[in-house]
Amino acid sequence: MNGSLRIDKFIFSHRPLSKEEISVGFINIHGHIHDKESFNGINVSVEKTDYAPIELSELKNLVKDKKQ
């Protein structure tokens, strides 16, 4: 699966993007790697979210935690 969707400062993609694919100031929200940690973004694979959707507010908290 190729492609991505940019909304605000998020880049949503199926697979994790490389650092070179992520514009400065953006964060990559992705799946694909199951329960592994993400090096360049935030992994929201179903294994990381207990097979449930997450609220945008929770996603924003994950971004804050990742930046710290």
Q: What is the pLDDT of residues 12-63, one digit of tens each?
A: 999 999 999 999 999 999 999 999 999 999 999 999 999 999 998 998 888 8
Closest CA to 32 of 6, 1, 66: 1
Task: For residue 55, give Cα distances in angstroms to 24, 44, 49.
Answer: 24, 11, 11
The more confidently predicted of residues 32 and 2 is 32
SS3 per-residue string spanning the chain: CCCEEEECCEEEECCCCCHHHCCCCCEEEECCCCCCCCCCEEECCCCCCCCCCCCHHHHHHHHHHHHC
pTM higher than 0.75 for the full model?
A: yes
